[in-house]
Amino acid sequence: MKFINPYLFIVTTFFLVSCTSQKEKLSLKDAYKNDFLIGTALNAGQIEAKNAKEDSLIKKEFNAITAENIMKSMYVHPQKDQYDFALSDKYVAYGEKNKMFIHGHTLIWHSQLAPWMEKIADSTEMKAFMKDHITTIVSKYKGRINSWDVVNEALNDDGTLRQSVFLKTLGEKYLIDAFKLAAKADPKVDLYYNDYNIEEPAKRAGAIALIKKIKAAGGKIDGVGIQGHWRLESPSIEEIEKSILEYSALGIKVAFTELDITVLPNPWDLKGADVNQKFEGNAKMNPYPEKLPDSIQTKLAERYASIFKLFLKHKDKISRITFWGVYDGQSWLNDWPIKGRTNYPLPFDKDLKHKPAYESILKLKKKEE
Pairing of strands 101-109, 147-152: parallel
Q: How far is CA 150 from CA 26, 68, 133, in A?
A: 34, 15, 11
Q: How far is CA 88 from CA 22, 46, 71, 147, 197, in A?
A: 35, 12, 6, 14, 28
Residue of 61, 199, 200, 258 marked catalytic:
258
Residue of 68, 153, 199, 200 marked catalytic:
153
Whether residue 343 contacts residue 263, with contact meaning beta carbons closer than 8 Å, is answered with: yes
200 catalytic residue (yes or no): no
153 catalytic residue (yes or no): yes
Whether residue 190 contacts residue 145, with contact meaning beta carbons closer than 8 Å, is answered with: no
Catalytic residue ranges? 153, 258
